[in-house]
Structures are given as C-alpha cells and as structure tokens.
C-alpha cells in the first residue's frame, strides 16, 4: 500500500496552480512516466467539473493504461482523483492549493495506491515512488515556464 504525500510552497497563486494541475490534457508534455492522457467525458454541475480520463504510463518496456474520475472543484481549489479501472487494486489522489501569507501558495499532494498484481507492483512500484517525488518538481517547473 504505497503512499506519498508532500506539501510545497510555490510563488504562484492557488488559482494558477489549480489551473495548471486541472489541465490534465497537458500532462504528457511534462509529467514523468505519462505517455498519454485522453479525457473520455466531461460533465459540469454546481460549479464543479467531473472528468473521466485514461492515462497511459510507461517505464522501459512496460505500458499500462488506467481510468480515473477527476473532480475539479475551483471554488475550494481542490482536485480529487478516484480510480475506475486498470492495473491498480485502488488509487486515491488529492490536490489542495492554499494561499500563503505574503503571496504564493502551498500545494498539498497526496496519493495512495496499490497494484493488483504483485509482479507489476514489484516492477513498477519503485519507479512510481520515484516518479511521485518528481511530480512536484515537474509541476513547479511547468508553473515557472507558464507563469514566469
């Protein structure tokens, strides 16, 4: 049951960082391991947007695609990702963006997951752990590129 959680302060506003993370179609351009992302559907209701998306991740010769439900909540600066289908037993991912005194924001990233297959977990698990550590940096570098 690997889990990763981090909180990082960035010089960008919560709205900017939320918009960057919510722009899931751009992930293959900058996110480690992400080889493709397709949004299957979008529904808006009560100021929130619900996406169903397929993400393909790869490492060396291994490729896996999984489907998630992404709830975008701009009023609360929150993004919640729930697992639907693919190689995981479960996956829970949450993003929160909070203003910081003096400007900028605190980005809180949490993910909890487990692969269905022990073999796949052994092959991909350590790379996923490293990738999640790199995700924060990848989003920060993307923010610098876009908002600098």
Torsion angles phi and psi, residue 9, rounded to 5: -95, 135
**Which pLDDT tens digit goes with each residue over 99-111?**
999 999 999 999 9
- pLDDT band for position 135 (cuts 50, 70, 90): confident
Maximum Cα–Cα distance across the chain: 47
**3-10 and 105-115 as β-strands: parallel, antiparallel, unpaired?**
antiparallel
pLDDT at 125: 65
pTM of the model: 0.91
Within 8 A by CB and 6+ apart from 87, the residues are 64, 66, 115, 116, 117, 120
Q: Which residue has the higher pLDDT, 144 or 120?
A: 144
Q: Which CATH number fits domain 3-147: 3.40.50.720, 3.40.50.2300, 3.20.20.70, 3.30.530.20?
A: 3.30.530.20
Closest of 68, 20, 76, 83 to residue 48, by C-alpha: 76
**Which pLDDT tens digit goes with each residue over 16-52?**
999 999 999 999 999 988 999 999 999 999 999 999 9
Which of the residue ranges 70-74, 86-90, 91-95, 131-135 would you say has the lowest mean pLDDT? 131-135
Sheet with 62-73, strands from edge to edge, namely 3-10, 105-115, 88-99, 78-85, 62-73, 48-59, 34-45
């Amino acid at each position: 049951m690997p889990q990763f959680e981090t909180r990082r302060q960035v010089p960008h506003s919560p709205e900017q960082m939320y918009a960057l993370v919510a722009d899931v179609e751009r992930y293959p351009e900058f996110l480690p391991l992400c080889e493709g992302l397709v949004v299957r559907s979008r529904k808006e209701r009560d100021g929130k947007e619900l996406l169903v998306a397929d993400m393909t991740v790869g490492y060396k010769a291994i490729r896996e695609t999984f489907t998630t439900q992404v709830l975008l909540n701009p009023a609360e600066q929150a993004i919640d990702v729930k697992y639907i289908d693919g190689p995981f037993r479960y996956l829970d991912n949450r993003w929160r963006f909070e203003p910081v005194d003096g400007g900028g924001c605190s980005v809180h990233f949490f993910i909890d997951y487990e692969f269905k297959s022990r073999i796949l977990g052994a092959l991909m698990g350590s790379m996923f752990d490293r990738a999640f550590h790199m995700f924060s940096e990848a989003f920060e570098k993307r923010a610098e590129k876009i908002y600098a």
